[in-house]
Amino acid sequence: MSAIEGIARTNYAYLDEQTKRMIRRAILKAIAIPGYQVPFASREMPMPYGWGTGGVQVTAAIIGPQDRLKVIDQGADDTTNAVSIRAFFEKVAQVTVTTHTREATIIQTRHRIPEAPLGEGQVLVYQVPIPEPLRFLEPRETETRMMHALEEYGLMHVKLYEDIARNGHIATTYAYPVQVAGRYVMDPSPIPKFDNPKMDRSPALQLFGAGREKRIYAVPPFTEVKSLDFEDHPFTIQHFDKPCALCGSTHSYLDEVVLDDRGGRMFVCSDTDFCEERREAGHVGELGVPA
Amino acid sequence: MNAEQPLLKVSNLSRFYGGRIGCLDVSFDLWPGEVLAIVGESGSGKTTLLNCVSSRLQAQAGRVEYRMRDGRLRALSDMGEAERRFLMRTDWGFVHQNPADGLRMTVSAGANVGERLMAVGARNYGQIRDTAVDWLERVEINTDRVDDPPRAFSGGMRQRLQIARNLVTAPRLVFMDEPTGGLDVSVQARLLDLLRGLVSDLGLAVILVTHDLAVARLLSHRMMVMKDGRVIEAGLTDRVLDDPREPYTQLLVSSILQV
């Protein structure tokens, strides 16, 4: 271990090389079997579980000094989680960081897919709290692994059936289960179902890391990702009545922001970079000011 | 389907729990549409035998062969896990003594009935729901209860729901482990009535485990008496109950309470 000014320094990108190789092997296996959850020896990270320990380990295993990293939390670049993970990699991996989706080579995300289309060569790293889509239907891990192995996915439709029976429509709005490459059913992490179609045949590589649950899975570029549904209740995404109040976008996922205690509220793009770019290009919403 | 050929052939089936005998050297054939009762006291190996035959438990010796829908007789041990599980949720049914073991208690009755359909690829909500409602009617559950979870059902209703859930894929063979256990007598009577109707309407073959000889007499055509893991007497139900030959069977039959 090298010492600078008498202080012990961590290895490049925080994890030691053996650990990174172990994680890369898991990632390669995950890419080879799209949607399959590969167990890996998840490490303790200098952050609590639930804050993206899985995503951070995946990012650390694939990052190099030439990369440009973007980190988003619910679409935003400026929230605590995103800012601290970005600062972490700036420090331990001497990497360039960015907030622009198009410039980034690695995008670590919590609960969103950026609005701007991703391109070839980009890697999207998801932070996953619970990788097992069947978990709340079948609590036994031995049984769910058997169900994946034998492709017994009837239970997943039981959940959707329940949704329709209780609410008249499929009420699952996030972590909406998908089938990858016609084989494994996968939890896309708690992204809104609005983002599900973006996963289908995406040119970018999508990696999923679950630190607490010790699982890595992947969707290789240009892989079919199909959201589960019924013939007479097909999959649909959310639609918003109003455009974004700041940039006027009608085709992005919006957050509701409460403005006062008299019922005032506005809807704004959850993807801050997308919203800013539109405003710079001259688009103005009803509450926005021209850039 | 050739009724001259057995649906299920069990030969020399044995299962041990360490040094103890679960069931020993049991052989029998089951024909399509036949109801076979396995009776005996607690611990005589009835349930062990049922579980071994239905491949829920691994037998240590012996063979179980089943005639598939294409007419071929196949040994269960030669099938892969996937094929065996597929068979279990399409061509077979298993009715547990405790309905909570056979039902998903947290999802609605309709989803419980529909699960097997969805497992074999049904993807039309309207059709699944219609089938579920139809089956609730057939097992005499009010169809307005279709969206209630089984938790909100009485014991008898749960048992009937479990039966509907098993029969929805039109199985040819149903295993029943004390289906009327834990129910009061009037509910038992209605359930037996329903079972008898369904079995004859659908031409089901049934292997029925019970310690209640009255249930066996009412439902079954043929009967096997077990003691200490062995089959000690087998024959037509009426013959065994009216003219028991083994001393143990005689004891069993004479122990029935006469009201």
What would the pLDDT profile of B133-190 be if each residue is shown by its tens digit? 999 999 999 999 999 999 999 999 999 999 999 999 999 999 999 998 878 888 888 8
Say what the pLDDT of residue B235 is: 95
Sort strands A178-180 and A225-227 into parallel, antiparallel or unpaired.
Answer: antiparallel
**Is the Cβ pair B125, A154 closer than 8 Å?**
no
Per residue in B209-246, pLDDT (tens digit) is 998 898 999 999 999 999 999 999 999 999 999 999 99
Per residue in A268-278, pLDDT (tens digit) is 999 999 999 99
Say whether pLDDT at A4 is over 60.
Answer: no
**Is the Cβ pair A150, B81 closer than 8 Å?**
yes
Say what the pLDDT of residue B3 is: 58
Per residue in A17-47, pLDDT (tens digit) is 999 999 999 999 999 999 999 999 999 999 9
From A140's Cα to the closest Cα of chain B, the distance in A is 14
**Is the Cβ pair A152, B111 closer than 8 Å?**
no
Say what the pLDDT of residue B187 is: 86
Interface of chain A toward chain B, CB-CB under 8 angstroms = 146, 150-152, 154-155, 157-159, 161-162, 164-166, 229-233
**Is the Cβ pair B119, A150 closer than 8 Å?**
no
**From the CA atom positions of chain A, what is the Rg in Å?**
20
Q: Do residues A201 and A223 make contact, with C-beta atoms less than 8 angstroms apart? A: yes
Find chain A residues with C-beta within 8 A of B83's C-beta.
none
Closest listed residue to residue A229, CA positions, set A283, A185, A261, A289 = A185
- Domain-wise residue ranges, chain B: 1-91+171-259, 104-170
Say whether pLDDT at A3 is over 50.
Answer: no
Q: Does B116 touch chain A (CB under 8 A)?
A: yes
- Domain-wise residue ranges, chain A: 17-131+178-227, 239-291
Read off the pLDDT of each residue in A155-176 and give the average, rounded to a whole number: 93
Q: Out of B85, B116, B118, whose CB is closest to A161?
A: B118
Residue A47 CA to residue A90 CA, distance in Å, equals 16
Per residue in A222-273, pLDDT (tens digit) is 999 999 999 999 999 999 999 999 999 999 999 999 999 999 999 999 999 9
**Is the Cβ pair B114, A166 closer than 8 Å?**
no
Per residue in B182-210, pLDDT (tens digit) is 788 888 888 898 999 998 899 899 999 99
**CATH number of A17-131+178-227, picked from 3.40.640.10, 3.40.50.11310, 1.25.40.10, 3.40.190.10:** 3.40.50.11310
Closest listed residue to residue B60, CA positions, set B18, B9, B12, B15 = B15
Between positions 37 and 56 of B, the ones with CB within 8 A of A are none
Q: Do residues B246 and B233 make contact, with C-beta atoms less than 8 angstroms apart? A: yes
The DSSP H or E segment spanning A69 is: strand A68-73
Phi first, then psi: what are they for B60, rounded to 5°? -90, -20
Per residue in B11-68, pLDDT (tens digit) is 999 999 999 999 999 999 999 999 999 999 888 999 999 999 999 999 999 999 999 9
When pLDDT is cut at 50, 70 and 90, the band that residue A128 belongs to is: very high
Quick one: closest CA in A to B108, which residue? A162
Find chain A residues with C-beta within 8 A of B111's C-beta.
158, 161-162, 165
Percent of chain A with pLDDT over 90: 91
Residue A68 CA to residue A106 CA, distance in Å, equals 6
The count of CB pairs under 8 A between chains A and B is: 55
Q: Does B115 touch chain A (CB under 8 A)?
A: yes
Quick one: closest CA in A to B80, which residue? A150
Say what the pLDDT of residue A291 is: 65
Find chain B residues with C-beta within 8 A of A158's C-beta.
104, 107, 111, 114-115, 118
Sheet holding A96-97, edge to edge: A38-39, A215-219, A205-210, A123-127, A106-110, A68-73, A96-97
Find chain B residues with C-beta within 8 A of A157's C-beta.
118, 123
Question: Under CATH, what is the fold of the domain B1-91+171-259?
Answer: Rossmann fold (3.40.50)
Residue A74 CA to residue A272 CA, distance in Å, equals 10
Say what the pLDDT of residue B259 is: 59
**From the CA atom positions of chain B, what is the Rg in Å?**
18
Say whether pLDDT at B111 is over 80.
Answer: yes
From B85's Cα to the closest Cα of chain A, the distance in A is 9
